Every structure is written in structure tokens, then in C-alpha cells.
């Protein structure tokens, strides 16, 4: 007999007080009664009521940090893809049930209220979402941490699909106000740009460098609470807004600094205006470098100021602080730390360097060459003259080290120097100045060591390490999939919420027919929920009994959405030729934003929608294939999508996807992976067993081998494989673009460019096509055997324990950060409000 347990254990949350608080907020914020308030206003009122509960724990946490003085990690990141806060905060307060009841009793629907919250989308994709999962885990595990980032006025654009094309619409996420944020003007910092460097002798005769003739902006922090699960800990995500340093007076016109005042005001306005919407692609824009230095200077200044409030020896800074650099984007932190230590605390170079290399650590998220940040010297030194000077000196000393190790070897200097060929190479700086360089999945770290960063690895092997990514089960199962969460808890207890490996106890139920049925029933209900969403948002009816085959992630050629849709075209052709063939109905679901200037990515979206138009409406197909492109894929609809997926598409060209994290979210929700041996897929298959996934295609070694030998020739496949040839011809014969047969010619050319073979099919789509189609046949056959499928799906859930971000964070803590665990005194844990 299985004991019925509540996933959310009872808590001391005061429901009546909470209801009064909501009503009070509606009254004082809007001078309205509940009946008069709009849904948005009700969301605000509920948000403030929750913040009220959080704030006590937030205060206590920081009081305790003050007392215990634990070592703190600053997770420095240009991106935090937080997703909605309301539901997550309620979950982590362990108050979902009482809050839901409170809302019911007020005649409100918590789901509807949650839906009013705009998704804070201050990130592009995996990298930004990882940062957010890490913050959740840090609080839940009880470690002192700050996330430091930018309060972009406009986050990731909203995607609208018009006539099958992506349209980017500004995401004004702050219009209605954000109930969870706290403005902290008392911690404002000045950040300086431009000008020149001067030597100054101070009153004690000490000389140092100062920046003069600069422009500056004021950085104002906004704090967002990061609520730990059930432990009363609340950490802080600190995001910086920019303001003009002086409100400019008209009389300054007369003083002749009117121009400067206007420029400073503009700088402040522009700097935090918008998130660059490029994923794995570096554009080299000056404003981007300004953003980087802006939030880094403010964050480093604050970290030092905070440290000095309690300590007197800045030389021991690293004993209490670690800066984790989320990719190279925050790497100016290295030089900014050096600057403050030398110019403001008068440390010698050697002393400052000793602190810096023990404080900073760097995470690499990609091997894609086009994502590596390199700044032209001219731009860099003009914008950040003092910082550039410091980097020059770091570079000079680093080159000496290279020469000591490899005397006379110019090649090593060419490949490893921080400044070379007129460029400042941020990855090289991060590696030279950090104590750690980590990749984000085992395979990725191996590729870094053996290929991309080989010279650095040979020189400093001790710095290199792996931290396989993870995800938070609290958002992506407990909140996103309540039916499955309750079912899991009913079978194995609720420990999995903070100890995901405990979910492996589910294994014994994988062969239990009743459990299999229950599982498939939950999946079915989640598919109905998603079908409803699709009907509302796309106007397309999909059959929840069909296989839900899902690829949701940023659109990028290396992720190969094109392979997926070409395969759909191939299936369509088969059914057209042979309408009576056996075919299990399938719904192909896509969701993806393309960088605004990425032509092939945008055309892939158009192709998916064009194929959808034809296939969905073809009477011969009769609904057996449906293609759906979900508009504006983001964290909030992701939660619905993962819960409803049968098949998880993880089909990147092997070696290109550093880790992937969507793959883990699907697994946790019981979808089976069809994928390449890339990124963390390798480790997923290792955990669940190859028999419970569908692996196909070239290995990373094979891909790298082809690449090192000038690519491969796809025309051979084109000439010899009629199925592939037919699909490719359909890209240029108007099958999916009757009025404009040339519409998809660029995509066709990307696969078959006969002019320069080494640029043809760079992502091995044709090379992998047959293997992919074969793997998809196996998916279909497996799904026909419902018991076998359910067994595999349950095993996927049961074997997902490794992929919690709690494990990842614990590894960072144990091996790199060495943080102290903070435990709050008993009485503050829980929801008592006094
Ligand atoms: C954003 C801006 C620039 Cl300039 C470069 C990269 C990005 C970006 O968004 N990268 C990104 O999301 N990388 C992804 O990081 C994930 C977390 O580690 C990985 O799982 C994923 O494989 C990787 O592509």
C-alpha cells in the first residue's frame, strides 16, 4: 500500500493573515476592492503579500550572515533568466497549498494570478537559465551568495509569429512594476568611462593612477529575493540600473558642460536599455562592453566595500569571497579588482595579483568560435583606459611565463597571449587570471582540454575541471508538473525535492503495470493541458493521444532544428506516397527564438511554419502528423511543455552543445531522449541506459575529425539518396512556398553549397539524416508498446537524480568555492509572522 503524502508538507503559514494582507494591498495600492481590481492588480497585491512574508526571512538571513560571516560567492553574470517569481517563491516557502486555499476562499484562481506576472527574461537561453537554477540551489543548500547582473529595461524580446515569420516585439517587463524588487539607492556606485590615466601623488607621497576627463554613470542596485526551499534562507539577486550622475541643470549650458551633461545622461539611459539577444554569438558592440564594465565595476566595488565593513586586511579578501565568471562576459572583473586593490588600497602589483588569482574562477559555456569575445584594442583602451593598462601588464607578465615554459616558441605566444593581433582576448584573460577553468559537461571539458584550450591546459592543467550542469527540480517538476510531483511523492516520499537522487527509489515501480498506467495517465493529462494552450495560442487542434515530440531551445544551426523539420518533410512524403502505411500519429512541437539578425535561423522558423501549414491541412495526412510552432518560447510556457513531452529532441551536431539543460528537464518529466552523443546527453544515457534513449549519428570525434580535414562532401549523399534529394528539392521547388519557390534557397545552399564544399553542411545534417530517421522509426515502434514506453519513461524520471543543480552547486562548493554552510536558528525557519 502506498501512503498518500502531500508533496508540500504542512507549514505554519498563516492563511488568514495572508488573505487580509492581500485585501489590504488591493486597497492601499489601488483604492479598490477585490471585485473592482483587475487581474494584474490582484497579482501585484498577492506579490506584495508574498514579499511581506519573504522579507522577514531575508532580514534574518542577512543578520545571520553578519553574525556568522560565511564565505560568499558572487555569481557574476550578464544574464539571469529567472522566469516568474510568484509561484516559485510560494513553492519555496512551502506555502503553495495554503496560498491556493486562501485564493480559493477569496474567489480567486492562483493559476490565473500567476499568469499575470510577466516573465523576467533577462537572459537568452541556457547560460542565463543555469545562473537562475544555481541561485535557487545556493539558497536551498544554505550558502551565502549574490547573483550580480543588469536590470535591463527590456529583456529578451517577445516573439510574435506573423505569416510564419518571427517578429521581435520589445518586452517592457517593468511597465506594471515588480512587486518583488527592492531599490537600494544607499548602495549606489559610480562607474567611470573614457578619459585618460594620470599619475597622482597623494598627501602621503604615495603615487598611483587615476582616471581623469571621464564620463560616469551612477549604478543603482535593485535586489530580488532568492528564496531557499523550506529553510528560511533568502539570498539576493542584485541587478544594477543606471542613472545620470547629476541631474543636468539648464544653467550648465552657460558653463559649457551642457554637452557633457547630455552625453552622461544618454550614457546612463542607453547602458541598461536592452539585453543583446544573441545566443552563442558575439557581436562586438561598444555598448555591450559598456554594459559589462558597468555592472562589473559596481559589483566589485560593492563586494569590496562589504568585505571591508567587517575586515581590515584586503589582502585576505579571497578567504571570504569568490567571483565566479559566467562565461567571459564578466571577465573585466579581473582587471577591475586589480585596479581597486592597487589604486584605492595601495596594494603592490604582486599583492593585488595574489588576491585576484585566488578570487576569480571562469566557466566556459561554448566551443563555438563565433562566441569568443575579442575586443579591438582601440575600442577597449578608449572606453576603459586604466583597465586596459592593467590588462597590458597582465599580458606582459603572462607572456614572460609562456616564454619561461616554452623558450623561443613564438607559436605559443601567438596562440595564448591575452592581447594579440590588435585584440583583447577575454577568454585568455579569464584563464590566466583565474584559479579555475571549468566546462559544463564531461565531454565538453574533455574537448576544451584536448582541442580548444589545449595549450592552456598543457601549461596549467591544475586549473581545469568539469562541473556538469544541472537544473532545479523545484521549478521544473514541483512547480511545473504538480501531477507528476504528487505521484512521485506518493511513491517515494518528498525527499526528492531537496535531494533529487532519492527519486531513484522509483525504479522499483518501473515494471509495475498499475504504476505504468498511472504514469501514462498523468502524462496524458499534461498533454491535454498543453493541447489546450496550443489551441488558445495557435488555433491548432492537436490530439493528446499522439506522440508529443518536442524540440524547444534557442534556434541555432548547430542545434539542428533544420534536421528535425527535414525529417518531418520526409515523413510527409512517405505518407503521401503510401497513405495506408502504418503510422503512429505524431505532433512535432517546436519552440525557439532566433537572434534578430540571424538569417538562416529566421528562415528555419519560416520553414517550420510553412511545413506546418501544408501538413496540418492535407486531407491525406488526416491529422496523423501535426506541426506546431509555439510562439514566444520562454520559462513560463517551458514548464507546461516539459511536463507534456513524450520525446525530447537533443540533436545537436556532436561536440557543439557544451551541455544542454533542456535535455535534463525533459528527462525529469519522463520524456525519452532522441539525441546525439553530445554535451550532457552522454551522461544522461549513462544514467538511464542506452536502451531507454534513442542515440544516433556521428560522434564528436568523428565530427572533429571531418572538421580538421576540411569537412565532408554532402553532394555524394544528395546524389545517392533519393529520399534526401527529394526533401532538399522541396526546399527550392515551391512545395512549401508556392508563391516564392526561392524562399528557402539559402537553407538549401547551406546544406549543399556546391561552390565551396568545405562550407557545405557544416553541421552534418545530411550526414546524420539516415541515422536520425532510423532512430525516429525506433521511437515510433517503442511508443506502440505502451508498457515498455511507460517503463522507460519512469526510469528516465528515476535516473535523473544526477542532474539536479543542487549536485552541481555542491561540487562547485566542495572543489572550488569552499563556502560555509549557514544554518538559521530554528525559530526563523517556517512562516510564523510575528
Ligand atoms: C549569450 C551571449 C553570448 Cl555573447 C555568448 C553566449 C550566450 C549564451 O546564451 N550561451 C549559452 O546559453 N550557452 C549555453 O550554456 C548552457 C549552460 O551551460 C549550456 O547548457 C549550453 O550547451 C550552452 O550552449
**Atom 8 of ligand 1, residue of closest alpha carbon:** 279
Q: What confidence score (pLDDT) does residue 207 get?
A: 85
**Contact by Cβ (8 Å): 92, 230:** yes
Given this model, what pLDDT does residue 4 score? 42
Determine the distance separating the centroid of ligand 1 and the alpha carbon of 371, expressed in angstroms.
9
Is 475-702+768-802 the same fold as 69-84+119-435? yes
Q: How confident is the model at residue 258 (pLDDT cuts 50, 70, 90)?
A: confident
CA 483–ligand 1 middle distance (angstroms): 31
What pLDDT sits at residue 375? 97
Distance CA 305, CA 293 (A): 18
Atom of ligand 1 nearest to the CA of 440: 18
Residue 657 CA: which ligand 1 atom is closest? 22
According to the model, what pLDDT value does residue 827 have?
63
Instruction: For residue range 676-709, list pLDDT tens digits in order.
Output: 999 999 999 999 999 999 999 999 999 999 999 9
Going by alpha carbons, the residue nearest to atom 20 of ligand 1 is 660
What pLDDT is stored for residue 202 in this prediction?
Answer: 85
How many angstroms does the Cα of residue 105 sit away from the middle of ligand 1?
44
Instruction: Note the pLDDT of residue 833.
Output: 35
Confidence of residue 3 (pLDDT cuts 50, 70, 90): very low
pLDDT tens-digit map of 125-163: 999 999 999 999 999 999 999 999 999 999 999 999 999
Task: Please identify, by atom number, the ligand 1 atom nearest to the C-alpha of residue 679.
Answer: 22
Residue 398's pLDDT band (cuts 50, 70, 90): very high
Surface-to-core class of residue 353, CB atoms within 10 Å of its CB (0-12 exposed, 13-18 middle, 19+ buried):
buried
Phi then psi for residue 698, to 5 deg, are -60, 150
Q: How far apart are CA 51 and CA 36, in angstroms?
A: 23
| CATH superfamily ID and name for 69-84+119-435 | Glycogen Phosphorylase B; (3.40.50.2000)
| Residue of the CA atom closest to atom 4 of ligand 1 | 282
Paired residues of 244 in beta bridges? 217
pLDDT over 70 (residue 243): yes
Q: Which stretches does DSSP call E strand in 27-162?
A: 72-76, 145-150, 158-162
Best residue among 287, 365, 812 to mutate for probing ligand 1, ranked by most atoms within 8 Å of CB: 365
Summarize the confidence of residues 715-731 as an average pLDDT: 97
- The 8-class DSSP code of residue 502 comes to G
Q: How confident is the model at residue 569 (pLDDT cuts 50, 70, 90)?
A: very high
Identify the residue whose C-alpha is closest to ligand 1 atom 6: 280
Return the pLDDT at 117: 98
For the CA of 288, the closest atom of ligand 1 is: 4
**Catalytically annotated residues:** 365, 553-554, 559, 661, 665
The protein residue with its alpha carbon nearest to ligand 1, atom 13, reads: 127
Q: How far is CA 722 from CA 8, 570, 831, in A?
A: 56, 11, 66
Helix (H) or strand (E) holding 95: none
**654 alpha carbon – ligand 1 mean position (Å):** 16
Residues 362-380: pLDDT tens digits? 999 999 888 889 999 999 9
597: DSSP letter? T
The continuous run of DSSP H or E covering 734 comes out as: none
- Expressed in angstroms and rounded, the spacing between residue 672 Cα and the centre of ligand 1 is 23
Q: What is the mean pLDDT of residues 448-462?
A: 97
Dist. CA 554 → ligand 1 center (Å): 10
User: For residue 8, is pLDDT > 60?
Assistant: no
| Nearest ligand 1 atom to alpha carbon 371 | 5
Question: Among 148, 150, 218, which Cα is nearest to 190's?
Answer: 218
Do 110 and 361 touch, CB atoms closer than 8 A?
no
Distance 280 CA to ligand 1 centre (A): 6
Nearest CA to ligand 1 atom 3: 280
pLDDT of res. 412: 98
Read off the pLDDT of each residue in 592-612 and give the average, rounded to a whole number.
Answer: 97
Atom of ligand 1 nearest to the CA of 554: 12
Reported as a pLDDT band with limits 50, 70 and 90, residue 754 is low
* In contact, 113 and 86? CB cutoff 8 Å: yes
**Mean pLDDT over residues 647-660, rounded?**
98
φ, ψ (nearest 5 deg) of residue 407: -55, 130
- The best mutation among 274, 280, 663 to test binding of ligand 1, ranked by most ligand atoms within 8 Å of the C-beta, falls on 280
Number of other residues whose CB lies within 10 A of the CB of residue 540: 16
Task: Give the Å distances, CA to CA, from 232 to 99, 806, 811.
Answer: 17, 17, 23
Here the ipTM equals 0.98
Rounded distance, CA 340 to CA 532, Å? 55
Q: How far is the CA of 657 from the centre of ligand 1 (A)?
A: 9
In angstroms, rounded to a whole number, what is the distance separating the alpha carbons of residues 270 and 95?
40
State the burial class of residue 834 (Cβ atoms within 10 Å of its Cβ: 0-12, 13-18, 19+).
exposed
- pLDDT reported for residue 206: 86
For residue 439, CA distances in Å to 6, 78, 319, 630, 749 come to 38, 18, 24, 31, 33
Residue located nearest, by CA, to atom 1 of ligand 1: 279
Share of the chain above pLDDT 70, in %: 96
pLDDT in tens, 320-334: 999 999 999 999 999
Which phi and psi angles does 382 have, rounded to 5°?
-70, -40
Q: Within 6 Å (CB) of ligand 1, which residues are found?
A: 124-127, 130, 278-280, 282, 365-366, 371, 440, 469, 657-661, 679
Confidence of residue 2 (pLDDT cuts 50, 70, 90): very low
Instruction: State the angle between helix axes of 745-752 and 722-730 in degrees (0 to 180), rounded to the nearest 10.
Output: 150
Percent of the chain scoring above 90 in pLDDT: 91
Domain range list for the chain: 13-68+85-118, 69-84+119-435, 475-702+768-802
pLDDT at 248 over 90: no
Mean of per-residue pLDDT scores for the chain: 95
Q: Whose CA is nearest to atom 15 of ligand 1?
A: 127
DSSP secondary structure, 763-787, as one string = T-HHHHHHHHHHHHHHHHHHHHSHH
* CATH for 475-702+768-802, options being 3.40.30.10, 3.20.20.10, 3.40.50.300, 3.40.50.2000: 3.40.50.2000
In a mutational test of the pocket of ligand 1, which residue from 127, 558, 803 has the highest number of ligand atoms less than 8 Å from its CB? 127
- Atom index in ligand 1 nearest the CA of residue 658 equals 22
The per-residue pLDDT for 247 is 57
pLDDT at 486: 98
Ligand 1 centroid vs 505 CA: distance in angstroms? 33
To 5 degrees, how large is the angle CA 102–CA 106–CA 108? 90
pLDDT in tens, 782-797: 999 999 999 999 999 9
Helix H, strand E, coil C: the string for 734-755 is: CCCCCCCCCCCHHHHHHHHCCC
Which of 75, 78, 123, 125 is the pocket-test mutation for ligand 1 (most atoms within 8 Å of CB)? 125
Amino acid at each position: 500500500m502506498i501512503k498518500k503524502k502531500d508533496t508540500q508538507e504542512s507549514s505554519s503559514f498563516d492563511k488568514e493573515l495572508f488573505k487580509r494582507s492581500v485585501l489590504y494591498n488591493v486597497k492601499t495600492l489601488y483604492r479598490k476592492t477585490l471585485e473592482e481590481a483587475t487581474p494584474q492588480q490582484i497579482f501585484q497585491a498577492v506579490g506584495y503579500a508574498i514579499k511581506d512574508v519573504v522579507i522577514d526571512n531575508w532580514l534574518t538571513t542577512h543578520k545571520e550572515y553578519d553574525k556568522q560571516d560565511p564565505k560568499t560567492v558572487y555569481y557574476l553574470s550578464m544574464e539571469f533568466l529567472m522566469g516568474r517569481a510568484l509561484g516559485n517563491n510560494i513553492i519555496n516557502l512551502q506555502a503553495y497549498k495554503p496560498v491556493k486555499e486562501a485564493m480559493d476562499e477569496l474567489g480567486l484562481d492562483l493559476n490565473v494570478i500567476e499568469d499575470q506576472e510577466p516573465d523576467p527574461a533577462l537572459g537568452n537561453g541556457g547560460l542565463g537559465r543555469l545562473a537562475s537554477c544555481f541561485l535557487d540551489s545556493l539558497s536551498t543548500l544554505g550558502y551565502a551568495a549574490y547573483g550580480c547582473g543588469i536590470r535591463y529595461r527590456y529583456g529578451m524580446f517577445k516573439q510574435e509569429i506573423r505569416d510564419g515569420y518571427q517578429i521581435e516585439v520589445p518586452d517592457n517587463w517593468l511597465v506594471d512594476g515588480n512587486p518583488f524588487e527592492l531599490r537600494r539607492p544607499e548602495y549606489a556606485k559610480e562607474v567611470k568611462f573614457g578619459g585618460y590615466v594620470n599619475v597622482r601623488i597623494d598627501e602621503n607621497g604615495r603615487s598611483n593612477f587615476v582616471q581623469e576627463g571621464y564620463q560616469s554613470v551612477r549604478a543603482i542596485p535593485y535586489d530580488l529575493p532568492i528564496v531557499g526551499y523550506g529553510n528560511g534562507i533568502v539570498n539576493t539577486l542584485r541587478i544594477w540600473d543606471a542613472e545620470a550622475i547629476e541631474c543636468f541643470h539648464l544653467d550648465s549650458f552657460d558653463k559649457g558642460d551642457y554637452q557633457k551633461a547630455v552625453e552622461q545622461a544618454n550614457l546612463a539611459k542607453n547602458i541598461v536599455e536592452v539585453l543583446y539577444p544573441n545566443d552563442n554569438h558575439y557581436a562586438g558592440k561598444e555598448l555591450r562592453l559598456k554594459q559589462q564594465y558597468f555592472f562589473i565595476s559596481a559589483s566589485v566595488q560593492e563586494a569590496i566595500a562589504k568585505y571591508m565593513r567587517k575586515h581590515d586586511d584586503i589582502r585576505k579578501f579571497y578567504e571570504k569571497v569568490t567571483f565566479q565568471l559566467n562565461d567571459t562576459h564578466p571577465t573585466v572583473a579581473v582587471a577591475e579588482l586589480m585596479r581597486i586593490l592597487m589604486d584605492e588600497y595601495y596594494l603592490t602589483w604582486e599583492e593585488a595579483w595574489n588576491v585576484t588569482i585566488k578570487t576569480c574562477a571562469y566557466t566556459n559555456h561554448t566551443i563555438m568560435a563565433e562566441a569568443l569575445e575579442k575586443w579591438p584594442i582601440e575600442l577597449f583602451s578608449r572606453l576603459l583606459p586604466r583597465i586596459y593598462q592593467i590588462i597590458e601588464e597582465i599580458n606582459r607578465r603572462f607572456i614572460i611565463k609562456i616564454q619561461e615554459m616554452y623558450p623561443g616558441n613564438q607559436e605559443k605566444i601567438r596562440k595564448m597571449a591575452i592581447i594579440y593581433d590588435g585584440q583583447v582576448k577575454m577568454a585568455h584573460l579569464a584563464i590566466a587570471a583565474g584559479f579555475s577553468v571549468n566546462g559544463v559537461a564531461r565531454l565538453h571539458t574533455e574537448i576544451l582540454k584536448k582541442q580548444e584550450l589545449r595549450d592552456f591546459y598543457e601549461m596549467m592543467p591544475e586549473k581545469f575541471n568539469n562541473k556538469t550542469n544541472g537544473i532545479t527540480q523545484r521549478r521544473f517538476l514541483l512547480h511545473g508538473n504538480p501531477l507528476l510531483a504528487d505521484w512521485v511523492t506518493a511513491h517515494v516520499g518528498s525527499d526528492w525535492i531537496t535531494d533529487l537522487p532519492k527519486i531513484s527509489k522509483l525504479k522499483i515501480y518501473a515494471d509495475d503495470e498499475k504504476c505504468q498506467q498511472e504514469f501514462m495517465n498523468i502524462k496524458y493529462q499534461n498533454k491535454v493541458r498543453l493541447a489546450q494552450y496550443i489551441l488558445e495560442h495557435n488555433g491548432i487542434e492537436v490530439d493528446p493521444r499522439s506522440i508529443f515530440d518536442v524540440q524547444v531551445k534557442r534556434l541555432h544551426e548547430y542545434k539542428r532544428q533544420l534536421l528535425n523539420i527535414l525529417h518531418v518533410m520526409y515523413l510527409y512524403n512517405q505518407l503521401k506516397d503510401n497513405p495506408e502505411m502504418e503510422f503512429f500519429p505524431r505532433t512535432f512541437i517546436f519552440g525557439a527564438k532566433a537572434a534578430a539578425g540571424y538569417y538562416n535561423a529566421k528562415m528555419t522558423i519560416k520553414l517550420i511554419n510553412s511545413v506546418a501549414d501544408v501538413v496540418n491541412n492535407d486531407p491525406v495526412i488526416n491529422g496523423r502528423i501535426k506541426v506546431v510552432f509555439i510562439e514566444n518560447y520562454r520559462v513560463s510556457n517551458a514548464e507546461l511543455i516539459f511536463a507534456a513531452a513524450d520525446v525530447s529532441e537533443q540533436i545537436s551536431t556532436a561536440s557543439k552543445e557544451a551541455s544542454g539543460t533542456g535535455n535534463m528537464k525533459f528527462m525529469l518529466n519522463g520524456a525519452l531522449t532522441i539525441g546525439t552523443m553530445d554535451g550532457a546527453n552522454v551522461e544522461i544515457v549513462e544514467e538511464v541506459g542506452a536502451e531507454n534513449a534513442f542515440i544516433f549519428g556521428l560522434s564528436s570525434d568523428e565530427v572533429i575529425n571531418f572538421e580538421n580535414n576540411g569537412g565532408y562532401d554532402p553532394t555524394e549523399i544528395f546524389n545517392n539518396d533519393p529520399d534526401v534529394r527529394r526533401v532538399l528539392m522541396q526546399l527550392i521547388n515551391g512545395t512549401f512556398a508556392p508563391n516564392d519557390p526561392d524562399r528557402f534557397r539559402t537553407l538549401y545552399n547551406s546544406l549543399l553549397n556546391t561552390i565551396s564544399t568545405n562550407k557545405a553542411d557544416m553541421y552534418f545534417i545530411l550526414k546524420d539524416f539516415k541515422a536520425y530517421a532510423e532512430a525516429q522509426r525506433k521511437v515510433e515502434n517503442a511508443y506502440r508498446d505502451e508498457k515498455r514506453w511507460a517503463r522507460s519513461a519512469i526510469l528516465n524520471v528515476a535516473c535523473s537524480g544526477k542532474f539536479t543543480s543542487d549536485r552541481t552547486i555542491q561540487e562547485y562548493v566542495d572543489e572550488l568555492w569552499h563556502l560555509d554552510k549557514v544554518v538559521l536558528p530554528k525559530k526563523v525557519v517556517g512562516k510564523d509572522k510575528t
